[in-house]
C-alpha cells in the first residue's frame, strides 16, 4: 500500500499507518474546538479516538496471532482513517481454525472491555467516585463502551465480517466448504441490504459499511463460483475492520475480505 508508514513491528508482523490517517485526529480536534471546547478537552477527545484505534490494532493483532498459531503469516496490518486492515496469507482450511481466527479479534475487545470494567470497579472500591477525575472516569467508560460496540458490530453474522466467518466455519463443519460459503455470503448480503436501509434513515457511515459488506460478500461468492476446482482458502485474505469515531459516537464495521483482487478499503 502506498503512502503508508511503518510504525512498529510485533512478532514479525509489520504495522503501518496510512498517510490519510492524520485526517482523523485533525477532524476530531477541529470539530471539538469548533464546538466551543477548551484545548484540553479537544486534546482529550483526540487521545480517546487514538485509544479506540489502538484497540482496533489490538483486535487485528488478535486475528494475526491466532492465524500465526496455524502457521499462517500476516503480511502487514495497516491503520486507515476508517479502520484496520490485516493482510493474512490465507484463511485456515479447517473450519475449527477459521472459527478461532475469526473470534480472536472480538475476544481481544471483550478482554479490554472486561479489564476496564474491573479497573473501574477496583478504583471505585478504594476511593469514592467523586475523587476520580470526571474526564478520566467518563473516558474509561467511553472506551469500554467503544470496545463493546466493536464486539457486537463485528459479530453480526454478515459475512465476510467476523460474525459471518463464524457462521461459515460452523456451517463448514457440517457441509462442504463451498456450500457453507454460499449460505454465509447470501446471509451476509441480506443483512447488508437491511443495514443499508437502516443506514439510509440514520447514519451514512452505516450505509457505507453495508455497501462494503454487500460487495465483499458478492466478491467471495464470485470467487467460489468461478474457481470450481481450487479452494477459495488458498489465496490472500484481507481482514479489514473498519471503525469511525467522532467524539462519543463509535461505530464499528466490517471485516471485509476479498480474495485474489484485494480491493482494499
- Using CB under 5 A as the criterion, which residues of the chain lie in contact with Zn ion when the complex forms? 105, 162, 241, 255
Q: In whole angstroms, how close is the CB of 144 to Zn ion at the nearest point?
A: 18
Q: Considering the complex, what minimum distance in angstroms separates the CB of residue 156 from Zn ion?
A: 12
Rg from Cα positions in the chain: 19
Whole-angstrom distance, CA of residue 262 vs CA of residue 32: 35
What is the DSSP code (8-state) at residue 19?
Answer: G
SS3 107: helix
> Smaller CB distance to Zn ion: residue 45 or 158?
158
In the complex, which residue's CB is closest to Zn ion?
105
Which residue number, 60 or 232, has a Cβ lying nearer to Zn ion?
Answer: 60
> Alpha helices of 155-176 — where are they, by DSSP H?
162-172
**Can you list the positions of beta strands (E) in 57-191?**
74-80, 83-88
Distance CA 1, CA 65 (A): 21
Query: From the CB of 63, what's the least distance to Zn ion, in Å?
Result: 6
Residue 174 DSSP one-character state: T
Nearer to Zn ion, 92 or 105 (CB): 105
Check: CB of residue 13 under 8 Å from CB of residue 74: yes
Q: Between 189 and 257, whose beta carbon lies closer to Zn ion? A: 257
Smallest gap, in angstroms, from Cβ of residue 201 to Zn ion? 27
**CB 155 → Zn ion: shortest distance, Å?**
9
103/172 with CB nearer Zn ion: 103
Nearer to Zn ion, 220 or 241 (CB): 241
Q: Is the dihedral of CA 144, 104, 259, 18 positive or negative?
A: positive
Residue partners of 226: CB distance under 8 A and separation at least 6: none
Shortest Cβ 149–Zn ion spacing (Å): 13
Amino acid at each position: 500500500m502506498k503512502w503508508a508508514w511503518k510504525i512498529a513491528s510485533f512478532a514479525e508482523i509489520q504495522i503501518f499507518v496510512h498517510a490519510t490517517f492524520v485526517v482523523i485526529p485533525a477532524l476530531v480536534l477541529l470539530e471539538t474546538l469548533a464546538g466551543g471546547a477548551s484545548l484540553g478537552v479537544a486534546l482529550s477527545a483526540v487521545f480517546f479516538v487514538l485509544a479506540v484505534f489502538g484497540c482496533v490494532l489490538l483486535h487485528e493483532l488478535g486475528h494475526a496471532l491466532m492465524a500465526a498459531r496455524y502457521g499462517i503469516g500476516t503480511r502487514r496490518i495497516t491503520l486507515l482513517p476508517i479502520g484496520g486492515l490485516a493482510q493474512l496469507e490465507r484463511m485456515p482450511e479447517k473450519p475449527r481454525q477459521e472459527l478461532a481466527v475469526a473470534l480472536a479479534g472480538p475476544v481481544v475487545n471483550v478482554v479490554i472491555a472486561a479489564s476496564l470494567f474491573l479497573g473501574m470497579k477496583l478504583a471505585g472500591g478504594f476511593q469514592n467516585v467523586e475523587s476520580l477525575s470526571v474526564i478520566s472516569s467518563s473516558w474509561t467508560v467511553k472506551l469500554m463502551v467503544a470496545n463493546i460496540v466493536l464486539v457486537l458490530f463485528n459479530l453480526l453474522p454478515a459475512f465476510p465480517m467476523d460474525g459471518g466467518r463464524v457462521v461459515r466455519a460452523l456451517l463448514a463443519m457440517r457441509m462442504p466448504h463451498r456450500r457453507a460459503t454460499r449460505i454465509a455470503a447470501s446471509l451476509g448480503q441480506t443483512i447488508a441490504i437491511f443495514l443499508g436501509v437502516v443506514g439510509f434513515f440514520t447514519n451514512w457511515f452505516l450505509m457505507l459499511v453495508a455497501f462494503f459488506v454487500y460487495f465483499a460478500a458478492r466478491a467471495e461468492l464470485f470467487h467460489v463460483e468461478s474457481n470450481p476446482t481450487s479452494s477459495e482458502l488458498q489465496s490472500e485474505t484481507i481482514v479489514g475492520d473498519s471503525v469511525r469515531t467522532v467524539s462519543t459516537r463509535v461505530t464499528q464495521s466490517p471485516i471485509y475480505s476479498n480474495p485474489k483482487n484485494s480491493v482494499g478499503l
